[in-house]
Amino acid sequence: MSDIVRLERADWPRAVETLAQAFDADPLWSVILPDRSEYERAMPVLWKGVLAYCQRYGQNFTTPDLEGVACWARPGMARATLWRMIRTGFSLARSVMVLSPPSRKRFLDTIKAIDKIHTRLMPEPHWYLWALGVCPDVQGRGIGGRLLGPILVESDAGGVPCYLETETERAVTFYQRYGFEVVHEERELAAGCPLWFMVRRPNAM
């Protein structure tokens, strides 16, 4: 984990590019934003909002070359309340407002359904992985696992679980290698796009 560092505010533009590349073919976002031009316009705003939120209410990690980014909300901070929105400059809200009305409805309906399941599955304090992305040309080199490392260590030390949602079976297999288990699967959130909900209990490895 020696090559994993905290993301600095000055590096957000490059971190946004990394996340945009990593999630370029993401099936859930392709359903929410089917128009490519809107996708390319909206996603950088969304990722900036995620970085801003996790910078204040969690931790963002990257590599020295910004080839990967992990965004975590710390225990008790997974829900973006109005006050937390204000304290992060409404960055997440702005990402929603740039969407067209049909896309905005798809986005809000999907997020509302995901949040409802999240709340039911994880009523206890937990680390929430908002995003983990690695540039496609360097995937498979262990960067994603190293980016998870700092919070998995903290989770084990503090006895606090970790939680995430993911959209592909390949990602499910990846997270299982680090002690995450599927606790729920949903296929009716957005045009039948599957979503897996995963939890890692402390000292799972």
pLDDT reading at 202 higher than 80: yes
For residue 13, give its domain range: 5-200
* pLDDT reported for residue 98: 83
Average pLDDT over the chain, rounded to whole?
90
Measured in degrees and rounded to the nearest 5, phi and psi for residue 71 equal -120, 115
The answer to whether residue 41 sits within a structural domain is yes
* pLDDT reported for residue 143: 96
* pLDDT reported for residue 204: 74
User: What is the tally of structural domains in the chain?
Assistant: 1
As a whole number, mean pLDDT of residues 185-202 equals: 86
Question: What CATH number does residue 26 fall under?
Answer: 3.40.630.30
Give pLDDT tens digits for 26-62: 988 888 889 999 999 999 988 998 999 899 899 999 9
Cα 165 to Cα 101, 126, 144, 153, 197: the distances in Å are: 25, 13, 15, 20, 5
> Is the pTM above the cut of 0.95?
no
The answer to whether residue 13 sits within a structural domain is yes
Who's near 71: CB < 8 A, 6+ residues apart? Answer: 50, 51, 54, 58, 60, 129, 130, 131, 132
The answer to whether residue 118 sits within a structural domain is yes
* pLDDT reported for residue 88: 55
* pLDDT reported for residue 166: 95
Question: Cα separation of 130 and 73, whole Å?
Answer: 7
- Helix or strand holding residue 73 (H, E): strand 68-73
DSSP label of 64: T
Give pLDDT tens digits for 132-150: 999 999 999 999 999 999 9
Please give the structure tokens belonging to residue 157: 């030390």
* pLDDT reported for residue 192: 72
The answer to whether residue 205 sits within a structural domain is no
